[in-house]
Structure 1
Amino acid sequence: MLVIPPSVPRVSGVSRRRLLGYLGVGLVSSLMSPIPLKAFAAENSSSAADLEKFLLVSRGLTGKRYLNPQIGERLFALLVKREANFMQQLAALQPLPAGAPASWPQAQQDIARQILQSWYLGKVGEGADAGVVSYEKALMFDAVSDVLVIRSYCPNRPGYWASRPDVAL
């Protein structure tokens, strides 16, 4: 049995580790600024409405009734990030102008081309700066999907296409 001498006071309560943990949590929480939940709700509803506008214009431009919403969300995010006034340009296509696209004003043709290019190529931008969203689900493969298999790998050794084929007569 453990006997505590009367000269050593018994301390009960919080351990040093727990006290340091409480101080750490308090410090971190005091450094965080309060953010109202309304800000998140307004921002999300606005971007959801903007995304729906983008998908509506995209359906009209591509002529497709169904477009993958996850791919659309990623394309939309990249387009908004790369183009400072993308939402104003998108508004110029709502509703889609009448007539052939060649008769539209140049600004409308440019934004329509950018939207179509992002859906058909599955990327936004060019070269090393391009943001790739989808390869296999890009719309460019829809036109030949009944004939060609989308290659995502090399079916033979590297550079096989440069060799002279064996011709049997």
Structure 2
Amino acid sequence: MSTSQSATDPSRRQLLKLGLGGAGMAVFGGLSLQALAETVADEQQTQDDSAFATFMVLSRWLLSDKTLDERLGQRYFEALARIPAEGVPGVGSLPALKARLLALGESREYVTKEDLSDGEMALVRRLLQAWMLGTVGKSISDPDAEVIAFERAGMYAGPRDVQVVRTYCPNRPGFWAEAPKA
């Protein structure tokens, strides 16, 4: 970014914050409660009602991805529990959120913005932010946020099958020193 750029130009981080907030609302507004019920039914085989199991159920539903990595999910869950965010309920409130969403599903098919309190919506945004950005912090612009995943962050899910996600070392350390394969 050049120093001649005016102070009113939004930075990439600000644009990402706005986009993530808007995408969260767009994604959440279009999620089927029937899909949540199906996800919960799939999870009932294990009969695990722990906060972590609920975190994974809600994450799978929010991201529409039934193949989320459990080990990566455990790291997100632990970081979310360890790093509180102001005005956002803790991960201990996830079972109540899941129960509320399932109860809503008995009366209609989709969630609307008015169905959740501001705190519940903030918790949903925080879950989406963690999975999509691969970081957990006190806020979306926290410079001390803990990086959980970079290459496996949700925002790279689209291009992952087409191109190598740019990292400092896309293959393994020292790959550039090996002779090319014929």
Query: Which TM bucket (shorter chain)?
Result: 0.5 to 0.7
In structure 1, the residue matched to 2:75 is: 74
Give runs of ≥4 in structure 1 deviating > 6 Å: none
Which residue in 2 is equivalent to 1:87?
91
Q: Which runs of 5+ in 2 are unaligned?
A: 1-48, 171-182
- Counterpart of 2:72 in structure 1: which amino acid? I
Q: Deviations over 1:68-114 (max 9, x none)?
A: 11111111001111228513432332133553352332222110000
- Contact 1:62 1:116 (C-alpha < 8 Å) held by counterparts: yes
CA positional deviation for 1:62: 1.0
Query: Could you tell me which residue of structure 2 aligns to residue 144 of structure 1?
Result: 159
Q: What are structure 1's unaligned runs of at least 5 residues?
A: 1-47, 156-169
TM-score w.r.t. the length of structure 2 is 0.52
Counting aligned pairs with the same residue, the percent is 32
Query: How many angstroms apart in 2 are the aligned matches of 1:101 and 1:63?
Result: 17
Whichever residue aligns with residue 100 of structure 1, its letter is V
For residues 1-169 of structure 1, the aligned pairs below 5 Å read 49-83=50-84, 85-95=89-99, 96=101, 97-98=104-105, 99-103=110-114, 104-125=116-137, 126-153=141-168
1:3 is aligned to none
- Using the TM superposition, give the Cα deviation of residue 143 of structure 1 relative to its aligned residue in structure 2, in angstroms: 1.8
Deviation at 1:52, TM superposition (A): 1.2
d(CA) in 2 for partners of 1:58, 1:108: 14
- Contact 1:74–1:133, Cα closer than 8 Å, also in 2: yes
Q: Go from structure 1 to structure 2 and tell me whether the alpha carbon gap of 1:78 and 1:154 turns closer, same or farther (over 3 Å shift).
A: closer
Q: One-letter code of the match for 2:98?
A: Q
Larger radius of gyration: 1
Aligned residues: 109
